[in-house]
Amino acid sequence: MPGLDTLAHTNPWRRRHPGEKALLALGLVGAAVALPPWPGALLVGLAASAILLGPLRLRPRQVVRAVRAPMAFVVVGSVPLLVAVGGDPLVRWAPEGLGAALALAGRATAALLCLVLFAASTPLADALPRLERLGVPPAVTEVAALVYRLLFLLLATAGTVREAQAGRLGFRTWRTTYRCVAGQAAAIFLGSFDRARRLEQGLALRGYTGSLRVQVDDRPLSVPFLVASAALVTAVVAAALVLA
- The full DSSP string for 97-144 is GHHHHHHHHHHHHHHHHHHHHHHTTS-HHHHHHHHGGGT--HHHHHHH
117 shares a domain with 199: no
pTM score over 0.85: no
Beta-bridged to residue 92, according to DSSP, are: 84
| pLDDT exceeds 80 at position 208 | no
31: closest CA among 18, 17, 42?
Answer: 42
| pLDDT exceeds 80 at position 87 | no
Once rounded to an integer, what is the mean pLDDT over residues 126-146? 80
Identify the band that residue 118 occupies on the pLDDT scale cut at 50, 70 and 90. very high
105 shares a domain with 31: yes
Q: How far is CA 67 from the centre of its chain?
A: 9
| pLDDT exceeds 90 at position 126 | no
Range of the domain at 195: 130-205
94 shares a domain with 48: yes
Phi and psi at 136, nearest 5°, equal -75, 130
CB distance 16 to 228 below 8 Å: no
For residues 244 and 239, give the distance between their C-alpha atoms in angstroms, rounded to a whole number.
8
Identify the three-state secondary structure at position 84.
strand
Lowest mean pLDDT among 64-73, 89-98, 99-108, 216-225: 89-98
12 shares a domain with 32: yes
165 shares a domain with 230: no
Residue 154 lies in a domain: yes
User: What's the pLDDT tens digit per position in 49-70?
Assistant: 999 998 988 999 988 988 888 8
| pLDDT exceeds 80 at position 90 | no
Identify the three-state secondary structure at position 222.
coil
| Helix pair 18-34, 42-53: axis angle to 10 deg | 150
Identify the band that residue 107 occupies on the pLDDT scale cut at 50, 70 and 90. very high
Within 8 A by CB and 6+ apart from 40, the residues are: 31, 32, 34, 110, 236, 240, 244
pLDDT on residue 154: 81
Once rounded to an integer, what is the mean pLDDT over residues 8-23? 88
